[in-house]
Chain A
């Protein structure tokens, strides 16, 4: 069964601190993995995409990693800001073409406090 699990469920950190969110997946066949950020009351916005051959990708203060062997991904946020408070969702794409299916993770709710 295709599954994407994220941890922790929720996280509170102080402004300026770093944090790492985890995503474990059992999806086959794997196509790619994306991290989305969802602000409260808004739609999710894509942060990064990781394909099978990529290990690390950065987007500003966000750095995503992918270990295709262990089927794990992480999202590292550096020097957190209050605006980073949001839900972070890991989405794995399974299959390809017309049969492609997106498997959503359970999300991590991040709160950055002053």
Chain B
């Protein structure tokens, strides 16, 4: 199994809503990532987890809250988002930090 599965594929939420994005991999990878991608731009790193511990937080606003319940799962909790947070949110995993990334298909998020 070489897949990274993300749910939901699409999400529309209001600025007062609370929602969560989910990511799952069963490749035994010990590094997991959240990226944000705006249209026609490369992915921007948000968070990196290594061995289920938060390793990198790229100064992401607190309205985004990551969680790594176990080595296969990665969540991104969303609260009080702004319209400018609308983007494609990509989850990725790699065997260790810096190794080849395996990306999920992403969650297309629209904040109204």
Contacts and interface: CB of A to CB of B under 8 A. Distances in A.
Contact count band on B: 20 to 34
B4 to A, nearest CB: 7
Interface residues of A, number: 26
A61 to B, nearest CB: 20
Given A98-B55, A104-B42, A43 B98 contact: no
A107 B103 contact: no
Interface in A60-114: 87, 89, 91, 93, 95-98, 100-102, 104-107, 109
Interface of B: 4, 40-45, 50, 55, 88, 90, 92, 97-98, 100-106, 108
Interface of A: 31, 34, 36, 41-46, 49, 87, 89, 91, 93, 95-98, 100-102, 104-107, 109
